[in-house]
Each structure stands twice: as C-alpha cells, then as structure tokens.
Amino acid sequence: MAIRLGVNPIGWSNDDMRELGGDTPLETCLAEARQAGFSGVELGHKFPREAGALKAALAPFGLACVSGWHSAALLERDAAAELAALRPHLDLLRAMGSSVLVFAETSHAIHGDLARPLSARPVLAADRWAAFGARMTALAEATLREGVRLVYHHHMGTVVQSEADIDALMAHTGAAVHLLLDTGHATWGGADPAVLAARYRARISHVHAKDVRPAVMARAKAEDWSFLRSVLAGVYTVPGDGMIEYPAVFRALPGYAGWVVIEAEQDPAKAHPLTYATMGRANLARFLHEAGMTVAA
C-alpha cells in the first residue's frame, strides 16, 4: 500500500505558543497545505470540533482528517476516567474516518512553558511504569474496539522523552498500544530514529517527520533551554533541512502503509509556511522513493 503524506498545521499556527501564527486564518493553512501537495492534515486549535463543521472546512480543499493530539493524564486518573475525558475527541476522529489517535501523557509536562528548562521535565520512577502502562493498555484496547488505534507521541519536556523512556513505555504496554515515531523528538531526545524504527517496526502505526538543526540543538542542550525557546531559535525544520538521515529511517520500516506527517514547528515569521511545507514534502517524497516506498498521488 502507498504512503499518504500529511501535514500538521503547527508550521502555520502553533498550538503551544499561540501567538506564533495567531493571525493566520485556518483557510490559509488548508489552502497552502493542499497547494504544497498534501492529502491530509492533523487537527490544530483553530479547527472546528464538530464533525459536520470540520467536514465542511476540509471539503473545499480535498483534505482528509489524519488525526489529532490528545493531552492525557493517566498518571493522575484511571483508564475509565481518561476515556471519558477523551470521548469527544475520539468520537470526532471516528466520525472523520481517522484510524489513529495521537496520544501523549502531559501530567507535569513543561513543553508549553517558555521559561522552564528541559532539565526540569518530569521523570517517571521505575516502580510506576507498570501501572502507567497497564492503564494505557486498557485505554488503547478500548479505543481499538471502536476502530481507532492509540499511537503514543514521545515528546520533549514530557515523561516520555528519552530512548530509555520509549523503551520503558513499550515494555510496559500491550500490543494495542502503538508508537508514533517522531523523528525530531527522537533525535533531540538522544535516540536514533532509524534504530527505533527497526526495534519497534511491528508497533509503529504513525510517523511524524521533522528535522533537527544540529547547531541549535547543541546550544539548547549546552545552555539548558526550554522547549519553546529552542523552537523559537529554530531547532526544528522540515525533512531534508537538517541532520536526520531519512532514507535510513524509512528503510527500517518495511511494509509501512500509514500516514507520514510533516510536523515541523517553526516561527512562521522567520520560516514562511508554504515555502517550507512545499520543500519538506518534496524532500519527503524523494526520501521515501529512495527507501523503495510508494507515495500515494
């Protein structure tokens, strides 16, 4: 099956720092996503959250609803309470025909705080992983029964950031929990995304493609910047504009047939969204071709 290429609106209008692209209309994002050649978009804070209105917003541009982020609190509530909190989002994704749910644990997370350095991010004690994983597995089984696969988004500034965190998550969750491989967060978090792709191939059902500018990342680490300060400085960019060897990542995902989504947050005043989206899609299609994968028209 062919890979489908999507984009996250965060390059036009940032969700964690809403003043970035705050004046950009949703229609501009959708029109430029289509112009750049994408066939689907993930949700952002400017999107309607009622199925009829969302379908009406996407239809003029021929864009599918790929998925959308859910901020979870499984460290503070059980699976039943989390499912209740998730219900409106899950029902929307189901109505839109989305097959995956982007899920991240955000209890005590600091990725949305411009002032707090990444060294202050939450770290889960070894004896808490089993209960956390059991709750997530129960939740993932519940969403899967409704036709939507939970894909876990490891993320800087959260409890699942490093390679060790990802390994612990995968070791303590059941088969219903899949991984969203984010190339940029993996790299910055100290992991090789190609190694993660090979290690967890059977449980990877979604890919976020962002690149990393190594000089910015090195300074962010050396000076212990916050996540958002690093983003403002340009730590992330689109595939092909940084250090990640994308063909190696895709060669480690034989048979993958889901979405590959560019999710490259930058300051749109510095990185023109349409220009970067167009460049990123062209690079991504080339990398997939080099890896022997087929991209859907």
Under the banding of pLDDT at 50, 70 and 90, the label for residue 232 is very high
Assigned domain for 254 exists = yes
Side chain identity at residue 43, one-letter code: L
| CATH number of the domain to which 197 belongs | 3.20.20.150
**pLDDT tens-digit series, residues 53-75:** 999 999 999 999 999 999 999 99
Assigned domain for 297 exists = no
Asked whether the beta carbons of 156 and 121 are under 8 A apart, the reply is yes
Assigned domain for 218 exists = yes
- How many domains does the chain contain in total? 1
Assigned domain for 219 exists = yes
Under the banding of pLDDT at 50, 70 and 90, the label for residue 36 is very high
202, pLDDT greater than 80:
yes
What is the reported pLDDT for 2?
Answer: 85
Under the banding of pLDDT at 50, 70 and 90, the label for residue 105 is very high
Assigned domain for 295 exists = no
Assigned domain for 229 exists = yes
The proportion of the chain whose per-residue pLDDT surpasses 70, expressed as a percent, equals 100
Per-residue tokens: 62: 């021929």
Range of the domain at 127: 4-290
What is the reported pLDDT for 174?
Answer: 98
**Residue that is written with structure tokens 């689907």 in the block:** 40
The proportion of the chain whose per-residue pLDDT surpasses 90, expressed as a percent, equals 99
Phi, psi of 141 (to 5 degrees): -65, -35
Q: How many whole angstroms separate alpha carbon 101 and alpha carbon 150?
A: 5
Per-residue tokens: 52: 């009829």
214, pLDDT greater than 90:
yes
**What is the pLDDT averaged over residues 106-120?**
97
Assigned domain for 200 exists = yes
User: Does the CA dihedral 18-23-27-32 come out positive or negative?
Assistant: negative
Asked whether the beta carbons of 58 and 6 are under 8 A apart, the reply is no
**What is the pLDDT averaged over residues 185-194?**
98
What is the reported pLDDT for 167?
Answer: 98
Question: Which pTM does this prediction carry?
Answer: 0.97
Asked whether the beta carbons of 232 and 213 are under 8 A apart, the reply is no
Burial 180-191 (b: 16+ CB within 10 A, else e): bbbbbbbbbbeb
Assigned domain for 34 exists = yes
Three-state secondary structure string covering the chain: CCEEEEECHHHCCCCCCCCCCCCCCHHHHHHHHHHHCCCEECCCCCCCCCHHHHHHHHHHHCCEECCCEEEECCCCCCHHHHHHHHHHHHHHHHHCCCCEEEEEECCCCCCCCCCCCHHHCCCCCHHHHHHHHHHHHHHHHHHHHCCCEEEEECCCCCCCCCHHHHHHHHHCCCCCCEEEEEHHHHHHCCCCHHHHHHHCHHHEEEEEECEECHHHHHHHHHCCCCHHHHHHHCCEECCCCCCCCHHHHHHCCCCCCCEEEECCCCCCCCCCHHHHHHHHHHHHHHHHHHCCCCECC
The set of residues, in sequence order, having a beta carbon less than 8 Å from that of 223 and lying 6+ positions away, is none
1, pLDDT greater than 70:
no
Under the banding of pLDDT at 50, 70 and 90, the label for residue 297 is confident
User: CA nearest 185: which of 123, 258, 265?
Assistant: 265
Distances (CA, A) of 191 to 154, 195, 199, 261, 272: 11, 8, 12, 20, 29
